Amino acid sequence: MTVELKNAYLTVQINEAGAELSSVKSADGIEYMWQADPKFWGRHAPVLFPIVGRLKDDQYTVAGQSYHMGQHGFARDNDFSVVEHSETKAVLEFTDSSATREVYPFAFRLRLIYELADHELKVGYEVHNPANHDLLFAVGGHPAFNVPLATPEATLANYSVTVAPKGVYSHIPLKAPLNDAANATDLDLTKPLALTRDLFKDDAIILDLKHQETTLMLGTDMDDHGVAMTIEDAPYVGMWSPYPDDAPFVCLEPWWGIADNVDADGQLSHKMGINRLAANQTFNAQYAVKFF
């Protein structure tokens, strides 16, 4: 089942499966979201929870007990319930169950909040801890945007990502699939980052945002269409497209969490980027995308 949001400018489709944004189409027919062709990548914009990225050996430990969990967690592969729906807003909810507690020993309520206003879609994450002890989690987005958008002959090499505020950012490399933050390098983003297939040969480009509000604009000189993602108070953002496949999409990924460090000891409480939410407290995070 899908949930639709609509205004004069955009029509948005959200799958109840995974609360996944699957389509953003302009009034003049431009589809902005990748349509999940399994030849390249069979997803649109998965919700990442309760981890972002990979765990070392796909395992972690809580209170002396070892658990197995695959990349990006399990929320993306579960059905959400629609708890609110209007013409321009939808709230979808997923809560813990006996099945989730077998792989993740925490109670939780995860809500995805989608809100459409003019040419912009806001995406909110609300994580509530109903238990009487701390909740350890990560959360993030993985939306994939079509490249090209409006000029069929354009390719990835015709696109760039412009970051604001301009500056030199810390780039955290991946020793696939783990992060190697100790060997972070400087990435000059005072000018647009030209996209090439080789840029992604070592997997995602990860920037340390240091929780400052950041906007990433994906666009081309060949037409006036693109997307501009503004991320509020996130520690990291990833940029990814498959390598070496010539896949016609780019992901801009706001993360409140990160893959395990190469030196991770497996304790979830020690995990780099983990969020700790006290009993009966609620965590909120948000990003917004302008479609033009």
pLDDT tens digits for 145-197?
A: 999 999 999 999 999 999 999 999 999 999 989 999 999 999 999 999 999 99
The two structure tokens encoding residue 32: 């902005």
Q: Please provide residue 238's backbone torsions phi and psi, each rounded to the nearest 5 degrees.
A: -110, 145
**Separation CA 19–CA 266 (nearest Å):** 29
In the predicted model, what is the mean pLDDT of the chain?
98
pLDDT tens digits for 19-65?
A: 999 999 999 999 999 999 999 999 999 999 999 999 999 999 999 99
Cα 93 to chain centroid distance, Å, stands at: 17
pLDDT tens digits for 114-124?
A: 999 999 999 99
Rounded to the nearest 10°, the torsion over CA 194, 199, 46, 283 is: -80
Q: Are 258 and 172 in contact (CB under 8 A)?
A: yes
pLDDT tens digits for 254-272?
A: 999 999 999 999 999 999 9
Which CATH architecture describes the domain 2-291?
Distorted Sandwich (2.70)
**Separation CA 249–CA 261 (nearest Å):** 27
Q: Domains of the chain: which residue ranges?
A: 2-291
- pTM, two decimals, is 0.97
* DSSP one-letter code for 33: B
Given this model, what pLDDT does residue 157 score? 97
